[in-house]
């Protein structure tokens, strides 16, 4: 089981705060530093305002050396796939090949309205996501000296030189996530290296993973080629007082966090992570909401991670 740090900077964070968390995560031995890709806060003012996901990851790429970096997840509505492929390839180069691309159809209508981004109906958003995946992976995997073309319903690419190339030969691993019954598993089977189930119970996680495995078998892909992961909110403490303080700092109740997230003592976290592993999870993204509490990350790294190997 690998643990990765997952942040939500639209809730209120500067680049410097994100960098401090990423560097601490690297220092403590976490597998990756991920961030959401949102432009509008949820249930808070979100001061000082949003940071762009790929601009901030580019900066972090130059100030870290080993930890992987990525998005959970970039919305396909935010960027045309050609320019997105260029941005991600460049950050992959800047990091020495440490980037993962998490990408989804987009869901938060208010942020689209707030920043003038078109928000098509759900069916079209999934169509655009599928075409974006075809274009992005096609551009990355086109051999040097050849061109890439694509003719879709919403997207057309003609004779692209398909440059620049990412550092990773076949391009950064692609992460797709969600709880959809058919379309999301089918897209994951076709394009993903990793499938993520966000904020779901152990039983629901098991069911979603099985749908993805069945989708892989439908197209004769080995389901074992994918990494299966979860995202869960983190709230760990050595004492009940410490747990309660951390829950208060992120505006949540301890009992609710214990039920729906990874909350409690290090021993409780080890037990619950073990049950997610039994359901098929190989990675957990720890949603870290208090970015100033680096001791929280150190606690999990020192008292939870050693018990997972």
- Contact, 284 vs 275, CB < 8 A? no
Given a cut of 70, the residues of the chain with pLDDT beneath it are none
Give CA separation, 7 vs 26, 165, 187, 305, in Å: 14, 28, 25, 19
> What pLDDT is stored for residue 309 in this prediction?
77
Distances 202 to 41, 97, 246, 261 between C-alpha atoms, Å: 28, 32, 24, 10
Residue spans of beta strands (DSSP E) within 47-143: 68-71, 74-75, 99-104
Rounded to 10 degrees, the C-alpha dihedral 6/87/106/121 comes to 180
The pLDDT of residue 277 = 98
What's the CA gap between 213 and 205, in Å, rounded? 12
How many C-beta atoms surround the C-beta of residue 26 within 10 A?
21
pTM above 0.85?
yes
What own/partner pairs with CB < 8 Å and gap ≥ 24 does 157-162 have? 157/82, 160/82, 162/138
What pLDDT, in 10s, does the model give residues 203-244? 999 999 999 999 999 999 999 999 999 999 999 999 999 999
Q: Which H/E stretch holds residue 158?
A: strand 156-160
């Amino acid at each position: 089981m690998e643990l990765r740090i997952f942040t939500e900077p639209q809730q209120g964070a500067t680049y410097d705060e994100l960098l401090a968390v990423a560097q601490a995560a690297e220092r403590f031995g976490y597998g990756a530093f991920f961030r959401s890709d949102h432009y509008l806060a949820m249930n808070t003012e979100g001061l000082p305002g949003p940071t762009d996901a790929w601009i901030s990851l580019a900066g972090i790429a130059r100030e870290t050396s080993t930890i992987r970096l990525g998005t959970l997840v970039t919305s396909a509505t935010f960027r045309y796939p050609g320019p997105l492929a260029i941005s991600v390839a460049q950050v992959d180069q800047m990091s020495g090949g440490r980037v993962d691309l998490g990408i989804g159809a987009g869901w938060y209508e208010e942020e689209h309205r707030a920043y003038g981004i078109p928000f098509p109906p759900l069916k079209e958003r999934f169509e655009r996501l599928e075409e974006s995946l075809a274009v992005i992976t096609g551009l990355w995997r086109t051999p040097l000296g050849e061109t890439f073309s694509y003719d879709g319903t919403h997207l057309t690419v003609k004779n692209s030189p398909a440059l620049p190339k990412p550092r990773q030969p076949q391009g950064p691993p692609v992460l797709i996530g969600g709880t959809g019954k058919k379309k999301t598993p089918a897209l994951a089977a076709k394009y993903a290296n990793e499938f993520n189930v966000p904020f779901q119970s152990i039983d629901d996680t098991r069911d979603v993973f099985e749908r993805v495995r069945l989708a892989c078998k439908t197209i004769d892909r080995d389901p074992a080629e994918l990494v299966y992961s979860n995202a869960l909110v983190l709230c760990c403490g050595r004492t009940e007082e410490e747990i309660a303080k951390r829950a208060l700092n992120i505006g949540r109740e301890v009992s609710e966090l214990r039920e729906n997230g990874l909350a409690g003592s290090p021993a409780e976290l080890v037990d619950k992570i073990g049950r997610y592993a039994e359901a098929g999870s190989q990675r957990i993204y720890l949603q870290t909401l208090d970015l100033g509490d680096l001791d929280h990350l150190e606690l999990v790294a020192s008292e939870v991670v050693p018990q997972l190997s």
